[in-house]
Amino acid sequence: MYQLPPIAVKKEKEKIIGFLKKTLREQNKKKVVLGMSGGIDSTTSFYLLKEAVDPENILIAHLYYFQSKLKNFINSLKKANIPNKNIHELSIKNSVDDLMKILNIPSEDRIRLGNIMARIRMIMLYDFAKKNNALVLGTEDKSEFLLGYFTRFGDEASDIEPIRHLYKTQIYQLAKYLGIPKKIVNLKSSPGLWPGHTAEKELGFSYEEADRILFLHKDKNMSIEKIKELGFPNAQKISDWTRRNSFKHHLPYIVK
């Protein structure tokens, strides 16, 4: 079965680090805020960021709802010499629960709950950025972007996107090259919006399969029917995901 072409990891690392330095220089900014969940995307983004920005100019925000996962990546922060005063470990539970009550959102409505969580996190990240004259670093990959697997004005809101041009499986390649701990590389990708939540369970297909199909369809302009013939039974399902969420890439609609 067709495999996604591997990336040149060393060249990719250097390109992204150069992009970060250039963007900060052009925007006359020194500080960067990173919302770090401890997953593969945010950790990879951090490992790249620490090569481009001095430790005292990196602000880390771990904004959790269920329980803190800071212990999973605190060693990486310490090894990078991130000052303790720059590490913010904060629960968003009270803010989310209060807003759920105000809006009369039932707790079993997981989608609305997840949207509230993502948007409250972004409010906090942008407040940190305003307070510190910083830019917010996004952690979205190309797979999530194409699938529309994000909350509008929530986890997709950012000032800089260092890894959005890479598919999820390519992020794993880069993460291994960067020396990210195996316990993080081996974690199932999860937005963490409810206990046991994984992206692949919600999507109904694996990122490995999705990336191959998305690459053939979006990068190589191959039809879904042709992709099916190559042995991808979920090609239509994945195409439907992208089509259903494509409106997210065109908002707001304006008068022309």
Short-list 108, 116, 57, CA closest to 83 = 57
Handedness of CA 60, 65, 68, 73 (dihedral sign): negative
Q: Where are the domains of the chain?
A: 9-194
Find the largest Cα–Cα distance for the chain: 55
Helix 40-52 to helix 168-178 angle, to the nearest 10 degrees?
A: 50
User: Given pLDDT bands bounded at 50, 70 and 90, which one contains residue 20?
Assistant: very high
Predicted local confidence at residue 171, as pLDDT: 97
Backbone angles phi, psi at 27, to 5 degrees: -90, 5
Give me the CATH topology for the region 9-194: Rossmann fold (3.40.50)
205-223 pLDDT tens trace: 899 999 999 999 999 999 9
Mean pLDDT, the chain, as a whole number? 94
Helix 9-26 to helix 168-178 angle, to the nearest 10 degrees?
A: 90
User: Given pLDDT bands bounded at 50, 70 and 90, which one contains residue 127?
Assistant: very high
Predicted local confidence at residue 199, as pLDDT: 80
Which of 7-16, 67-76, 107-116 reaches the highest mean pLDDT? Answer: 7-16
pTM: 0.94
Average pLDDT of the segment spanning 187-192: 74
Provide the percentage of residues in the chain whose pLDDT is more than 70. Answer: 98
pLDDT at 77 over 90: yes
53-68 pLDDT tens trace: 999 999 999 999 999 9
Q: Which residue has the higher pLDDT, 1 or 173?
A: 173
Predicted local confidence at residue 4, as pLDDT: 87
User: Given pLDDT bands bounded at 50, 70 and 90, which one contains residue 1?
Assistant: low
